[in-house]
Structure 1
């Protein structure tokens, strides 16, 4: 049985992975997309991040919504601080608005700092992971376990040897019996930095790296 610490670690691990996925989708957010369409996109290949039941059961829907908005508000802060734009987050429209020339030219660090610290009740709620953990804690422990197992690919997977070999090659790691999460994650983050669109790479290569990481997490049962 997983401890609360284990479940939180699994949850935050999956949230970090989702942040990596969404950070490669700047063009998608520039065009704009609804929450429903984004969840449907993330349910399909090459991501397979959310389970098919994500929108069916009310509790699962809430959990899916919370995780997605938790990551979107993290991405909003990241792109704002990098002067990449302002991510407007609403259920019907999630859209990246360009930074205005005035905002880019502003040298008033104090003003910018205050803007970044401005109270945002929704952001505060979604960025507080304990709000996810506390939701119906006493009555849904079993459902929460099932939720994270599904998000982490807890169902039995069949791996083709050539796919596993390619995943190791892309991440620059050797196949080993006792692969640790820390070493795999370190290799993944290093490789993603090299191919991420924000670092001069491209979306296709970044998606391949993310998919390889997801595959090896399941292959080594690091969840």
Structure 2
């Protein structure tokens, strides 16, 4: 999806053809094919965020329009975007919808840079993995999470030591090296 929002009629046509709904990923791929015959999504995180934002901006606008006209209810979630029969009252649009407000304000798109996207992703991974992932990663690098001097520089130093020790080219174990690399990826999200 490019920097312009997809026309609501394209979205409506795609969603009508998929009564079971589509994930955000599937919808972005189909829109991408529709617009330029290239079914790939951007690999750059900022461009992917922009595609996501523009899609949700358009979806919320379409949802408001469909509701105002009494045509349908549009369920919006990254895992399932689908049209549902219109039902006044019970599924009426809420007055206070922080996500809707966020996506309808194009200033958020304009003001969000690559560093902001990286911070959002880091926070997402922290919530997803919780402290258990951090503890496991520290254990994989044989580090004490309660050590006062523990920071990214200390973690990187320990990582380099373990990579040197466990690299398969030096007689180490591939699986152990993979655990060390995975632990480092996890810890970089916690220690910035």
Query: TM-score of the superposition, structure 2-length normalised?
Result: 0.51
Cα separation, 2, equivalents of 1:79 and 1:57? 33
Residue 52 of structure 1 aligns to a residue whose secondary structure is coil
For the residues of structure 1 that align with 2:39 and 2:94, how far apart are their CA atoms?
A: 35
Q: Tell me: CA distance 1:82–1:25, structure 2 relative to 1, closer, same or farther (3 Å).
A: farther
Written as runs of structure 1 = structure 2, the 5 A alignment for 1:92-107 is 92-100=79-87, 103=88
Residues in 1 aligned to 2:18 and 2:67: alpha-carbon distance in whole angstroms: 14
Provide the residue aligned with 2:68 in structure 1.
81
TM-score, normalised by the number of residues in structure 1: 0.44
What per-residue deviation string (whole Å, max 9, x for no partner) do you get for residues 46-78 of structure 1?
432888352x11111111100100000011101
| Correspondent of 2:21 among 32, 56, 66 | 32
Runs (5+) with no aligned partner, structure 2? 117-192
Matching of residue 48 in structure 1 with residue 25 in structure 2: no
Counterparts of 2:41 and 2:15, CA distance in 1: 27
* Aligned partner of residue 78 in structure 2, secondary structure: coil
Q: Is contact 2:72–2:83 with CA below 8 Å preserved after alignment?
A: yes
Corresponding position: 1:19 with 2:8 = yes
The Cα offsets for residues 192-211 of structure 1, whole Å up to 9 and x where unpaired, read as xxxxxxxxxxxxxxxxxxxx
Contact 1:42 1:50 in 2 (8 A): no
Structure 1 residues 61 and 50: alpha-carbon distance in aligned structure 2, compared to 1, 3 A threshold: farther
Match of 1:133 in 2: 110
2-side partners of 1:25 and 1:41: how far apart?
A: 8
Matched-pair contact (CA < 8 Å) for 1:35–1:92: yes
In 1, the alpha carbon distance for the partners of 2:44 and 2:58 equals 21
* Deviation (angstroms), 1:117: 6.1
Aligned residues: CA RMSD: 3.2
Post-superposition Cα deviations, 1:112-148, rounded to whole Å, max 9, x if no partner, equal: 9xx5461110000000011100112899xxxxxxxxx
Q: Deviations over 1:153-178 (max 9, x none)?
A: xxxxxxxxxxxxxxxxxxxxxxxxxx
Query: Greater relative contact order (Cα 8 A, min sep 6): structure 1 or 2?
Result: 1
Residue pair 2:19, 2:83 contacting (<8 A) in 1 also: yes
